[in-house]
């Protein structure tokens, strides 16, 4: 076999291998997409945390200071980061950010019910949409929404740098009269341009991630519109798609000679600076159009994610808005609790929950609160029936001392309660959730202050209170204003404790705190003395 034939054979084998690997990669990509739906798997693995997807939310907070949003206290009280992790099947960073902002209740009901129905019922459409979204993918820590925010200050273009672009041409012209002088001048300006070009590159390099991802979002919106057989006008942003490839400044292989020649030419004439700012100006001029593309992609991604998440639930329902103040939930459960015990509740007045430790009070409060958040944001609840008046939600359930702010537990709680008092005066409907009011102080002050706060809120028709307490004295003080529910436990003959986690009307008449000392095998002298102390105190 001749050398030519050997070389041709090797080249042919190489090309065949490249083609095979390319086809195999695409097949595996498509199979992974298909299985992610049927097996309820995330395409990109485990979700990432808040730092990666809070930019859009923070922009909305900065640009709409009058908008309510679920604050950090409530977010942490309800473990909403875990709720989001559980339900997050998004493909894109825009989807991540929109889902997060929606759960913070600063935007509402982002998923499209008709779109979700099509995703669930039309496998061909679903797979094509998933492929488009997965191709866009995620760009972690990128901030692609800033380009349509009024608060974003676009970098200022400096026309003086045009001089750097034309300066090397002086050297070229001078060569016609004096070759040596022309070459020296050309090399001098080339060195100056290379210096400023690299300096500018370092200055804006971090922005390129956001910039290119934003351009990819525009292209993704075009693809989804075509999939939906919808017209889309991207005329104002055409330059982004056409010219942006020329901004690429790195060749990962370092061996693409054509790329390196183009890059050298751009550096010589300071092209990247002008091109980057020209394309940024396109974003600025077409901010409204880009906003619509961004939200269009995000809505499709969140709709897909929500449709898939719903398939993982035992059952779910859409909330039914009402004009009155009542709230009704049937077969309500927490989306994070495995084998959760469902409960029914009908709230016509404010609610005070009593019950022993670990009986289910706190979990029920969180269950109801999380479902109000989900109803507000995604138009879904983990229940069979959920009727409520949409409104804002605030909680004070799991506070801690703030060392950095110098606040004690009690001061932290007072501040948390004050924000609720303020909200009651400003919003049409407010849901307030409390777990053990004023537990950072003594018994007398706790009961006195707790009754005062709960009484205050009960006089506001626009406020619905759900509060849990161990202080049964509050049920006597608030019997004319609150309805009472409780959870109970059963103590077995071997002193073990069981819970059924079912909510009941009335007031708990049991306590298991001392019995837990016995169950966890504290010394008998500790257990017996605790029983004696309780008997003596109740006699008083």
Beta-bridge partner residues of 225: none
CB 399 within 8 A of CB 412: yes
Question: Does a structural domain hold residue 533?
Answer: no
C-alpha R_g of the chain:
32
CA distance 92 to 291: 16
C-alpha distances (whole Å) from 49 to each of 82, 217, 295, 479 are: 9, 22, 21, 44
CA distance 346 to 196: 69
DSSP 71: -
Q: Tell me, what's the pLDDT at 342?
A: 97
Question: Does a structural domain hold residue 59?
Answer: no
Mark whether 119 and 234 lie in a shared domain: yes
Backbone φ and ψ for 112, nearest 5 degrees, come out as: -100, 115
- The total number of structural domains in the chain stands at 3
Question: Does a structural domain hold residue 488?
Answer: yes
Per residue in 12-57, pLDDT (tens digit) is 676 666 665 555 456 666 677 777 888 888 877 666 544 567 899 9
Angle at 192 between CA 188 and CA 194, to 5 degrees: 115
Question: Does a structural domain hold residue 529?
Answer: no
pTM, whole model, 2 decimals?
A: 0.84
SS (H, E, C) 347-409: ECCEEEEEECCCCCHHHHHHHHHHHHHHHHHHCCECCCEEEECCCEEEEECCCCCECCCCECH
Contacts of 310 (CB under 8 A, 6+ apart): 116, 316, 380
Question: Does a structural domain hold residue 205?
Answer: yes
Beta-bridge partner residues of 468: 353, 435
3-state secondary structure of 150: coil
Q: Tell me, what's the pLDDT at 274?
A: 74
CB 35 within 8 A of CB 306: no
Q: How many alpha carbons fall within 13 Å on the CB side of residue 77?
A: 28
Mark whether 338 and 261 lie in a shared domain: no
Q: With CA atoms as reference, report the closest residue to 502 among 490, 493, 516, 514.
A: 490
Mark whether 281 and 409 lie in a shared domain: no
Annotate 194-223 with DSSP letters as a single string.
HHHHHHHHHHHHHHHHHHHHHHHHHHHHHH
Q: Tell me, what's the pLDDT at 178?
A: 77
Q: Are strands 343-347 and 327-332 parallel, antiparallel or unpaired?
A: antiparallel
Mark whether 423 and 485 lie in a shared domain: yes
Question: Does a structural domain hold residue 128?
Answer: yes
Mark whether 187 and 204 lie in a shared domain: yes
Mark whether 389 and 491 lie in a shared domain: yes
Neighbours of 475 (CB within 10 A): 17
Q: Tell me, what's the pLDDT at 268?
A: 64
Q: Tell me, what's the pLDDT at 307?
A: 96
DSSP 465: E
Mark whether 425 and 285 lie in a shared domain: no
Q: Are strands 327-332 and 430-435 parallel, antiparallel or unpaired?
A: unpaired
Q: Tell me, what's the pLDDT at 71?
A: 94
Mark whether 401 and 450 lie in a shared domain: yes
Q: Tell me, what's the pLDDT at 411?
A: 85
Q: Tell me, what's the pLDDT at 231?
A: 76
Question: Does a structural domain hold residue 539?
Answer: no
Q: Tell me, what's the pLDDT at 158?
A: 74
Measure the N-to-C terminal CA separation of the chain; round to a whole number of Å: 109
CA distance 267 to 272: 7
Per residue in 84-95, pLDDT (tens digit) is 999 999 999 999
Give the mean pLDDT per block of 10 residues along the chain (540 residues). 61 65 60 78 66 84 86 94 94 94 83 93 94 90 89 78 69 74 76 72 75 90 92 71 60 48 63 78 89 95 96 96 94 96 95 85 95 95 97 88 59 90 94 90 88 94 94 90 89 72 88 76 84 74
Annotate 88-124 with DSSP letters as a single string.
---SSHHHHHHHHHHHTTSS---S-HHHHHHHHH-HH
CB 174 within 8 A of CB 185: yes
3-state secondary structure of 454: helix
Mark whether 240 and 382 lie in a shared domain: no
Boundary (domain end) residue, out of 259, 279, 312: 312
Mark whether 196 and 126 lie in a shared domain: yes
CA distance 212 to 283: 12
Question: Does a structural domain hold residue 241?
Answer: yes
Q: Tell me, what's the pLDDT at 153?
A: 81
List the domain range (segments joined by +) for residue 303: 71-312
Mark whether 235 and 358 lie in a shared domain: no
Mark whether 295 and 437 lie in a shared domain: no
Backbone φ and ψ for 431, nearest 5 degrees, come out as: -105, 125
CATH of residue 368's domain is: 3.40.50.300
* CB environment 102-117: b (16+ within 10 A), e (fewer): bbbbbbebbbbeebbe
Q: E strands of 163-289, at which residues?
A: none
CA distance 418 to 426: 13
């Amino acid at each position: 076999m001749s050398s030519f034939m050997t070389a041709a054979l090797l080249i042919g084998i190489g090309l065949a291998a490249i083609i095979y690997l390319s086809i195999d990669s695409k097949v595996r990509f498509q199979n992974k997409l298909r299985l992610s739906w049927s097996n309820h798997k995330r395409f990109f693995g485990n979700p990432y945390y808040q730092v990666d997807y809070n930019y859009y939310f923070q922009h909305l907070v900065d640009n709409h200071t009058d908008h309510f949003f679920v604050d950090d206290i409530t977010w942490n009280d309800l473990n909403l980061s875990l709720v989001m992790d559980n339900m997050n099947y998004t493909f894109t960073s825009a989807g991540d950010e929109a889902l997060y902002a929606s759960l913070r209740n600063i935007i509402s009901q982002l998923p499209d019910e008709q779109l979700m129905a099509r995703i669930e019922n039309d496998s061909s459409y679903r797979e094509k949409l998933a492929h488009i979204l997965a191709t866009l993918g995620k760009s972690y820590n990128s901030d692609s929404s800033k380009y349509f925010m009024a608060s974003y200050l676009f970098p200022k273009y400096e026309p003086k740098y045009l001089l750097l672009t034309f300066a090397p041409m002086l050297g070229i012209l001078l060569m016609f009269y004096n070759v040596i002088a022309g070459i020296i001048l050309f090399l001098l300006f080339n060195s100056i341009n290379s210096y400023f070009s690299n300096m500018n590159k370092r200055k804006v390099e971090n922005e390129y991630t956001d910039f290119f991802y934003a351009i990819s979002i525009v292209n993704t919106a075009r693809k989804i519109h075509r999939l939906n057989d919808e017209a889309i006008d991207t005329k104002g942003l055409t330059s982004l798609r056409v010219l942006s490839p020329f901004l690429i400044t790195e060749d990962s292989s370092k061996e693409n000679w054509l790329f390196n020649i183009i890059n050298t030419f751009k550096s010589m004439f300071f092209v990247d600076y002008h091109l980057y700012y020209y394309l940024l100006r396109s974003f600025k001029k077409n901010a409204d159009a880009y906003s619509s593309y961004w939200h269009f992609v995000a809505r499709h991604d969140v709709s897909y994610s929500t449709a898939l998440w719903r398939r993982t639930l035992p059952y779910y329902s859409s909330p039914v808005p009402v004009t009155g103040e009542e709230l009704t939930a049937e077969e309500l459960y927490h989306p994070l609790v495995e084998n959760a015990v469902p409960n029914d509740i009908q709230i016509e007045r404010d609610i005070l929950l009593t019950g022993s430790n670990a009986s289910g009070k706190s979990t029920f409060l969180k269950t109801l609160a999380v479902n109000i958040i989900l109803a507000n944001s995604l138009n879904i609840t983990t229940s069979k029936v959920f009727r409520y008046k949409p409104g804002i939600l605030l909680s004070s359930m799991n506070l801690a001392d703030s060392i950095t702010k110098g606040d004690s537990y009690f001061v932290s709680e007072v501040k948390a309660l004050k924000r609720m008092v303020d909200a009651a005066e400003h919003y049409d409907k407010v849901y307030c959730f409390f777990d053990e009011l004023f537990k950072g102080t003594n018994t007398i002050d706790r009961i006195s202050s707790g009754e005062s706060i709960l009484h205050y809120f009960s006089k506001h028709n626009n406020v619905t209170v759900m509060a849990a307490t161990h202080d049964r004295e509050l049920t006597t003080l608030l019997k004319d204003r609150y309805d009472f529910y409780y959870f109970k436990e059963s103590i077995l003959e071997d002193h073990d404790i069981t819970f059924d986690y079912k909510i009941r009307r009335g007031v708990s008449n049991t306590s298991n705190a001392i019995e837990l000392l016995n169950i966890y095998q504290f010394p008998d002298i500790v257990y017996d003395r605790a029983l004696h102390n309780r008997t003596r105190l109740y006699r008083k």
